[in-house]
Structure 1
Amino acid sequence: MNTHLIDLQVQSGIATLCFNRPEKRNAMSDDMRTEFIVALEHVANDKSIRALVLTGNGKGFSAGGDVAGMERRMQAPIGEVGFNGWSRQQRVHHTVSLLHTMPKPTIAAVNGAASGLGADTALSCDFIIASEAASFTWSYINRGLIPDGGGMYFLPRRVGLAKAKELIFSGRKVNADEALRLGIADRMSSAETLLADAQAWATELSQGSATALALGKTILNQTFELSANQVFAQGSQAQGICYTSSEHRDAVMAFLNKSGDKNTPQRPSQD
């Protein structure tokens, strides 16, 4: 899938999605968001794709929201600005939700500046690997705005509440070394090997049962909001589904055949 603003390639079960607006440092326009949504829905629904790597073409990961688009929104009739803004936010949140709830591992390979919505988009992935040239800034405050792409939810979970407030209130830039130290980034890589390292990591993370990965991720995404008993209950339901999966059956039979215990009486399992 290769479109004007989004470049999506799939190789060996790993999808690599590149923001493709390098002349604007991959700032997110409305048209780009539309293509992004289509690409994310395709990746989520294609069972042959086991993981997603997200990166940017050119020098930047994503400069965030398109300022030219902000200017056009301000030119709308006063009575329509609020509702237009609300409608746009529904699409922003839909995009964030698609990425956050993707039923397979997601990695942001941050190759340069990730600013505002770009930084939020990286945080929406399960993991972040940053090149030495990467930087992060929640610069919304400089435009009189608040983080609207998930940053107020994801950033405190990575760095703690006080540090998240400091980064959002100041809008200052965080370089790659500090991002790794704070826990914004999970790994670092050189600019030359960033994409290959991200793809190799995606392959490593997606070797297991796709069913177990999807169900486990769904529960893990909620663990800070749910009680222990709720997590246990959801885990029990998910495990029941895993018991019926072909991946579980094949793995058990492969283990028994390898160990030569296929015909040996087994003690009843307690699982």
Structure 2
Amino acid sequence: MSDYVTYDESDHVVTLTLNAPEKRNAISTFADCDAVVEAVRRVNRDRGVRAVILTGAGTAFCAGGDLKAMRDRKGIIEGSHADLRENYRRGVQAMANALYECDAPTIAAVNGPAIGLGLDVACMCDIRIASEKARFAESFIKVGIVPGDGGAWLLPRVVGMSMACELSFTGDQIDAATAKEIRLVSRVVPHDELLPAARALAARIAANPPEMVRMTKRLLREGQHMRLSSLLEISAAYQALAHSTEDHKEAVSAMLEKREPRFTGR
């Protein structure tokens, strides 16, 4: 079992840390990808988890793919053309699917460079906040490859097609302030305040009815590629479920009684 991801839970919030600072949290092996997938599965199995923070150990968020592994054709970058195609499906693409489809809301706390795959990992999360030391690049083109991890689908949905094309075709690196300007991140904070800011945001999310937050996330996800009429049908079904929950009754009662609600997830 890889120790590439650490898992810490407190007050209904899980912090996942990419934990390979010696290689700037680059992703190079199936074990690295599997560690992320298993961490997300653990979140999904625990209905007590109400929000997830994803960050990196050391000075980087994630440096993307491991260039030495690419050079030496090791790990995921190993075998024939057919092998490589299957390796991507089994490795980084399985990780992308898992992280993007995580049931709980996810916050990427980008503490340093998020390069190539690292940028796309941040885009797999629902919300991105950045340290002033963060840097971003959709830099696959710079090493002669394409976004094999879903970045061509993710990035345009975050920053729009024109900016996604500019970042992808040039491979240019941008700083945190520019990332906020193009809406790649929601906010930029001083480096030492990054995790406190992420935890405060996660706590505000966790203070709400947890199942309704998860259903709201699902509606937002489905709304990215579904007709309005179809989304309205799902919304009606979810709303009927929401009205039958104890947390809905508690929310209404607390608002009328001008007190803090106590949500249980039921």
Same fold (TM over 0.5): yes
The answer to whether the 8 A contact 1:103-1:213 is kept is no
Cα distance in 2, alignment partners of residues 134 and 208 from structure 1: 30
CA shift in 2, pair 1:93/1:244, >3 Å? farther
Q: Secondary structure at the match of 2:149?
A: coil
Structure 1 distance, partners of 2:204, 2:251, is 18
Q: How far did residue 94 of structure 1 move?
A: 2.2
| Helix, strand or coil at the partner of 2:196 | helix
Q: How far 1:244 sits from its partner (Å)?
A: 2.2
Gap change, CA 1:255 and 1:132, over 3 Å in 2? closer
Match of 1:53 in 2: 53
- The alpha carbon displacement at 1:4 in A equals 2.6
C-alpha distance in structure 2 between counterparts of 1:252 and 1:118, whole Å: 41
Q: Percent identity?
A: 32
Q: CA deviation at 1:75?
A: 5.4
Q: TM-score, normalised by structure 1?
A: 0.88
**Structure 1: which amino acid aligns with 2:20?**
R
Q: Note the C-alpha offset of 1:255.
A: 4.8
Give the equivalent residue in structure 2 for 1:17.
16
* Deviation at residue 95 of structure 1 after TM alignment: 1.5
Q: CA deviation at 1:193?
A: 1.1
Q: Secondary structure at the match of 1:192?
A: helix
**Aligned residue pairs, count:** 254
Q: Which residue does 1:262 correspond to in 2?
A: none
Offset at residue 224 of structure 1 (A)? 2.9
SS of residue in 1 equivalent to 2:180: helix
Structure showing greater radius of gyration is: 1
How far apart in 1 are the matches of 2:219 and 2:4?
33
Q: Which residue of 2 aligns with 1:180?
A: 180
- Counterparts of 1:67 and 1:3 in 2: how far apart (Å)? 20
**Change in 2 beyond 3 A, CA 1:161/1:75:** closer
CA RMSD of aligned residues (A): 1.9
Q: Distance in 2 between matches of 1:255 and 1:185?
A: 32
Where 1:26 maps in the other structure, the secondary structure is coil
Q: Which residue of structure 1 aligns with residue 97 of structure 2? A: 97
Correspondence for 1:263: none
Q: What does 1:225-244 align with in structure 2 at a 5 Å threshold?
A: 225-244=225-244
Are residues 1:122 and 2:157 paired? no
SS in 2 for 1:221: helix
Q: CA deviation at 1:186?
A: 0.5
**1:137: how far off?**
0.4
Q: Deviations over 1:60-112 (max 9, x none)?
A: 00001122333226653xxx332343233243222112222222211001011
Q: 2: CA distance between counterparts of 1:93 and 1:74?
A: 14
